[in-house]
Amino acid sequence: MSTEIIDGPESEALGSDGIAVALAQQSRLTVDDLRRTPRTVDAPAPWRTTGTRVALPGAPSGVATSNAAEVPTSTTVVRDDAGPQGSGTRDAAGRFAPGPATVGEVRSVLDRRTSVRFFGDRPLAPEGLTAVLRRILDEDADAFPGEAPGGSALELLVAPLRVEGVAPALYAVRAGDATAAGDVGGGVTSDDARRHLAAGAAGAAAASDRLVLDHVAELPVGRYDDLVLQREFAGAAALVFVMGSLRAAEERHGAHGHRLGLVRAGAAAHAGWLHAIETQLTGTVFAGALPTALRGLAGVDGSERTQLFALAVGHPAFG
């Protein structure tokens, strides 16, 4: 970033916008800081992974995402129009999937929103994890459509501590494709999860809603609380860490890049949290993993990649 302070001809170039000039002078902003058009920058290099991959199934039928697949014909659904969740469906296992949200249902979710830091032992279905992750990614893509193509994408690391068929570890999240159902490696995914994949494979439309987890690092067995400052978060079924590149954000937007990244991460994580509440899960947004833990496990240096926000999700401890 340029260190040239706005003064003289540079301030005149701002035209008659006296407020911008005053702010620039008072806060010592630079010419680059007031750049009108974001630059296209180099995205961070791909995560260093072990080569093991886990293909998550698509989101449950009825879940509202921007790439929602059609309801598979093999899925048994029952209308559920009563209760605080509003309209929706339940599959053969009794899992709830909401129908199209109405204003009243959104208000109901907001009314029930509360930060929960203690969780039950029930594992999270892999489809539920897919839906939360997809909602986070979709929120950023919809609200800030130019950022990922411009080299400043948000990225997700996930620690599925109790997710059916997925071994606890640290994974990088990426979009799947039509071959994702066969994109399973190393015995990490169980036969049960493979059955989920087969049931959810409904052509390219369903595959576009599927996500792949690239294995980044093992987690210390029995010491998940070493990841976080508040140890109760280690009891969640899954921890999602929203990552961004401070270097790319600064090159793209100037000194405002970090602030913008925090806004994006906050909006995306909250969208995932509200979706979790809507589907009868619980949890909270929080600051995230300890920086030393992410540095040791994934090489997160705070510049090329930095943690911006996080989300803990799981089943309620009671009920």
The whole-number pLDDT of residue 171 equals 98
The whole-number pLDDT of residue 59 equals 73
CATH class of 38-314: alpha beta
The whole-number pLDDT of residue 200 equals 36
Q: How far is CA 109 from CA 41, 88, 132, in A?
A: 38, 14, 15
Q: What is the mean pLDDT of residues 240-246?
A: 97
Q: What is the mean pLDDT of residues 205-218?
A: 78
Q: What is the mean pLDDT of residues 153-181?
A: 86
What letter would DSSP give residue 163? B
Reply yes or no on whether the pLDDT at 318 is more than 80. no
Q: Round to whole Å and give the CA distance between 86 and 110.
A: 13
The whole-number pLDDT of residue 207 equals 44
The mean pLDDT of the chain is 74
Whether 158 and 126 have beta carbons less than 8 Å apart is answered as no
Q: Round to whole Å and give the CA distance between 80 and 62.
A: 12
Q: How far is CA 198 from CA 33, 80, 194, 248, in A?
A: 50, 26, 6, 38
Decide: pTM greater than 0.85: no
Q: Which residue has the tokens 């879940």?
A: 63
The whole-number pLDDT of residue 210 equals 82
Higher pLDDT, 217 or 63: 217
DSSP 255-304: GGHHHHHHHHHHHHHHHHHHHHHHTT-EEEEE--B-HHHHHHHH---SSS
Q: What is the mean pLDDT of residues 284-302?
A: 95
- Percentage of residues in the chain with pLDDT exceeding 90? 48
Q: What is the mean pLDDT of residues 275-298?
A: 93
Q: Assign 125 to helix, strand or coil.
A: coil
Whether 236 and 160 have beta carbons less than 8 Å apart is answered as no
Q: How far is CA 121 from the centre of its chain?
A: 23
- Percentage of residues in the chain with pLDDT exceeding 70? 61
Start-to-end Cα distance in the chain: 53
Q: How confident is the model at residue 64 (pLDDT cuts 50, 70, 90)?
A: very low
Tens-place pLDDT, residues 106-148: 667 666 767 677 788 999 999 999 999 999 999 999 999 999 9
Q: Assign 215 to helix, strand or coil.
A: strand
Q: Which residues are 154's β-sheet partners?
A: none
Q: What is the mean pLDDT of residues 34-47?
A: 84
Domain boundaries along the sequence of the chain: 1-36, 38-314
Which of the given ranges, 15-19, 164-168, 191-195, 219-223, has the highest pLDDT on average?
164-168
